[in-house]
């Protein structure tokens, strides 16, 4: 297939590019820094600086939309919220407009989302649950609505509600590895908030399944089947790096330092990949302990 990917230079995108290239697919990656695409995604991957370069005569058989500014990297000022919105919702709206204008429309759009869609809570949720009411949930809902508009064009749409991705390089563990190795790993608040995570290999495998199976559409939770509390996550990560985990960061300090986005750390979602389970998908890394051992070994 000829595939257009946004967000291809990110953590998931780079790994997915490698898998798709190995399977013989032709890739074009949208990037604001097209000069970096070959190094990050592969020498034979084409680069596109702007969606304006997608002319109606260009043919793509599939579109994978993973673009989005990191949600936790800066204070949620009005300006930052607009940037988060534009990088997800507005870009996806433009992408669907380009699909509508294309003479040969792609058969499938896989579009990013996140488990933040569900808001915060302790009750287990699957894909049938309603959206939450906080900013992150509203952002995810609008993002999904923008992508779902492609269905009216005859395009199959799958929505990738992604959990916390655990990978050998970068992502959540890239930030946590050093402090935990130094014995400074800390529980966040009371540690009872749920963390729904996924090994990057399983995330990529589920994404490929959705790309290839023409019968699948709608939302899919791309998470491991066993979410854990923050206290359990802290203990297992400390154990994986052979260090103690004696500390706790008080919730009030996180709220003082991070403002509204502290909710990303102090609240969580207990998300289950129910639709993937019904498909018979078997996670290679269903448990956190073996996932952290694999990542640390790499």
Task: Give per-residue pLDDT as tens, 254-280.
Answer: 999 999 989 999 999 999 999 999 999
DSSP letter at 129 equals: S
pLDDT of 170: 81
Exposed/middle/buried for residue 121 (C-beta within 10 Å: 0-12, 13-18, 19+)? middle
The domains located in the chain, with CATH, are 2-164+198-223 (3.40.50.720)
CA-based torsion, 178, 182, 183, 186: positive or negative: negative
Q: CA 5 to CA 263: how far, in whole Å?
A: 30
- Reported as a single tens digit per residue, the pLDDT across 127-156 is 999 999 999 999 999 999 999 999 999 999
- Identify which has the larger pLDDT, 12 or 170: 12
Token duo for residue 284: 């290679």
pLDDT of 28: 97
The residue-averaged pLDDT of 85-109 equals 97
Q: CA 160 to CA 222: how far, in whole Å?
A: 6
Query: Using 50, 70 and 90 to split pLDDT, how confident is the model at 72?
Result: confident
- Reported as a single tens digit per residue, the pLDDT across 37-61 is 999 999 999 999 999 999 999 999 9
3-state percent breakdown (helix, strand, coil) of the chain, nearest 5: 45, 20, 35
* Alpha-helical runs (H) found in the chain: 11-22, 37-41, 78-85, 91-101, 135-148, 171-181, 200-212, 230-240, 251-258, 263-266, 274-278, 288-297
pLDDT of 169: 82
pLDDT of 246: 86
The residue-averaged pLDDT of 217-244 equals 96
Residues 6+ away with beta carbon under 8 Å from 79: none
pLDDT of 296: 83
Q: CA 35 to CA 43: how far, in whole Å?
A: 11
Q: CA 51 to CA 98: how far, in whole Å?
A: 8
Question: In this model, does residue 245 exceed pLDDT 90?
Answer: no
pLDDT of 298: 74
pLDDT of 54: 96
Q: How many Cβ atoms are within 10 Å of 298's Cβ, its own excluded?
A: 8
> Are the C-beta atoms of 9 and 42 separated by less than 8 Å?
no
pLDDT of 142: 97
Q: CA 32 to CA 187: how far, in whole Å?
A: 37
pLDDT of 206: 98
What is the rounded radius of gyration, in angstroms, for the C-alpha atoms of the chain? 19
> Are the C-beta atoms of 222 and 161 separated by less than 8 Å?
yes
């Amino acid at each position: 297939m000829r595939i257009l990917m946004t967000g291809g230079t990110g953590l998931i995108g780079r790994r997915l590019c490698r898998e798709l290239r190995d399977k013989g697919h032709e890739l074009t990656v949208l990037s604001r820094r097209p000069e970096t695409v070959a190094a990050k995604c592969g020498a034979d991957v084409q680069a596109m600086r702007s969606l304006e370069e997608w002319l109606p005569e260009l043919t793509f058989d599939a579109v994978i939309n993973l673009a989005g500014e990191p949600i936790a990297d800066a204070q949620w000022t009005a300006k930052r919220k607009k940037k988060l919105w534009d990088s997800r919702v507005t870009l996806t709206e433009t992408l669907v407009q380009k699909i509508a204008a294309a003479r040969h429309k792609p058969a499938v759009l896989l579009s990013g989302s996140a488990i933040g869609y569900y808001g915060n809570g302790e009750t287990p949720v699957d894909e049938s649950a309603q959206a939450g009411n906080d900013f992150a949930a509203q952002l995810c809902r609008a993002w999904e609505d923008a992508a779902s508009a492609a269905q009216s064009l005859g395009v199959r749409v799958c929505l990738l509600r992604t959990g916390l991705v655990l990978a050998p390089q970068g992502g959540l563990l890239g930030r946590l590895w050093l402090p935990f190795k130094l014995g400074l790993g800390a529980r966040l608040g009371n540690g009872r908030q749920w963390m729904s995570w996924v090994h990057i290999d399983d995330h990529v495998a589920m994404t490929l399944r959705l790309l290839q199976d023409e019968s699948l559409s709608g939302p899919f939770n791309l998470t491991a089947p066993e979410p854990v509390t923050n206290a359990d996550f802290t203990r297992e990560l400390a154990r994986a790096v052979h260090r103690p985990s004696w500390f706790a960061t008080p919730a009030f300090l996180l709220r003082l330092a991070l403002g509204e986005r502290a909710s990303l750390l102090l609240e969580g979602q207990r998300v289950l990949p129910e639709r993937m389970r019904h498909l018979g998908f078997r996670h290679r890394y269903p448990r956190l302990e073996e996932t952290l051992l694999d990542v640390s070994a790499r």
